[in-house]
Structure 1
């Protein structure tokens, strides 16, 4: 039994046009081809169906009984193809799927809310999940596939992870206004060593930076280690302890005036924020669109000086 298969699907489009115009010559003009080419395609379709599909007469052509059956299904196929193309176009402009972003507690106060708001308004079909952990854990989660992106403050150790530098940010001594009143307008590692401090564990890059500077100066720091969320660390500062943080990490308290940021000049502490992703996922359209949205959001925050730092090249044209 002869039958039409997907190899003949392009012939159905010509058949629909011929049936609609009821003329081979008119169909040829609409299809921007010659009449003989349309006649040949209809003949091939009739051979595939093993039946006559058109009746020729003086006024042109009209579908036979079986031709009408094929026309009905051809129009359904045409409609399904249109819907498929439309849905693919819609997905490209606003893809759907789940995206998980991990970030450390020192970034969450300044980035989490704008990122969620921008994804909701610009990419409503993406199910965004934001998770929080120290940088050391985030790289492992990314490598294991638990997150799609991670924002960290140290270069990745694994070859399968790609790092995009976002910005360089200075670190400050964050204290209460009462404690700041007894300190100079800029502080050194010697000044910091005189204060009780709260900091993450020695695995943390900022803790390592501090202790290295203190060791080089022959000083010993008085540090309470807290491996917990940044909110708990900021609450400890309010209890008359100091912390070396970026402005972004304590943004709510700095804006409210409950904490003060004092510049550190001797030595100056700076760290780089990196956007990490798995190299194997870089070809995904969903991941590419999500990356652009992350870069666009960070760029906006830096330009508006909500996230204070010196932008790297990735933020100069995040949409391009």
Structure 2
């Protein structure tokens, strides 16, 4: 049977591309690392990488084993976190994930209420993009996470449990000098001839804008690609263009910007609470989920 410790060491060599770099990172001698990898190759019955002056190059067998090694690392991390929970840490620690717009809107009210109700429970919140949140869930670094989706890109995995927190409808952002700034609401078609400010780097809201405009019969003319909603608001205030944004992203409205509710049909974003299906929520997590829904209800009422 292959030695797991050697597989993990080999995986680190594959990741770093050289024995020397691995030895330096792990505080080993290069000869010790080489010796362990050589023993693993003997166990495997074939070479796992080719050695050269600038490092190592994986063989086909080495690439396959390195991929297995990365999976073993993830499983061991998950096991360590689960064992820490069984040792009692879950009773005193709640680890959750979130993303920026919810972290600046729904989450603060829920955190305050939870800490007042359960002052002895240590709450840790990790904020990341969706890919990072998935990784933390799978590794059991967090117990549950806030996420979001749209109609055309539903979160649908067999190994998770998803519950809805609140629907997050979009709004239109226009300069206070825009001819339609005084309206109670507006339709996308009203802005078919306006330049648009969208989110950069293939952000999902950019896709929501493109889909919605096409459904309304026009292609949006992009004047600016913003990296966050505050930047988008700043550009709207200058009059460069108009923008679409989720309501929860509009906790702080910049001067010179008017917010117009968007008339149906509109790309509504679902705010979700997600956990792995093989994980039963602790009482602390269940309580926090309740505070989140209370926060969402309070925000909707206001």
2:259 corresponding residue in structure 1: 261
Alpha-carbon shift at residue 262 of structure 1 (Å):
0.7
Say if 1:106 and 1:249, in contact at 8 Å, map to a contact too.
Answer: yes
- Taking structure 2 as the reference length, the TM-score comes to 0.58
**In the alignment, does 2:259 pair up with 1:298?**
no
Corresponding residue SS for 1:187: coil
Corresponding residue SS for 2:206: helix
Larger Rg: 1
The number of residues matched between the two structures is 208
Cα-Cα RMSD = 3.2
**In the alignment, does 2:106 pair up with 1:108?**
no
After superposition, what is the alpha-carbon deviation per residue over 1:217-237, rounded to whole angstroms, capped at 9, x for unaligned? 4422133334x4444444444
Corresponding residue SS for 2:266: coil
Say if 1:139 and 1:156, in contact at 8 Å, map to a contact too.
Answer: no
Uncovered stretches (5+) of structure 2, i.e. residues with no partner = 1-87
Alpha-carbon shift at residue 266 of structure 1 (Å):
5.0
After superposition, what is the alpha-carbon deviation per residue over 1:226-275, rounded to whole angstroms, capped at 9, x for unaligned? 4x44444444444434332233211222xx76533212225333222111
Find 1:281's aligned residue among 254, 279, 282.
279
2:155 corresponding residue in structure 1: 156
2:166 corresponding residue in structure 1: 167
2:21 corresponding residue in structure 1: none
Alpha-carbon shift at residue 129 of structure 1 (Å):
2.5
Distance 2:179 2:247 in 1: 15
How do residues 93-104 of structure 1 correspond to structure 2 at under 5 angstroms?
A: 95-103=91-99
2:199 corresponding residue in structure 1: 199
Distance 1:170 1:98, change over 3 A: closer
2:244 corresponding residue in structure 1: 244
Distance 2:177 2:301 in 1: 24
1:12 corresponding residue in structure 2: none
Distance 1:213 1:198, change over 3 A: closer
- Taking structure 1 as the reference length, the TM-score comes to 0.55
Corresponding residue SS for 1:106: helix
1:32 corresponding residue in structure 2: none
After superposition, what is the alpha-carbon deviation per residue over 1:114-151, rounded to whole angstroms, capped at 9, x for unaligned? 12212321222332233333445433442343432222
Uncovered stretches (5+) of structure 1, i.e. residues with no partner = 1-90, 310-320
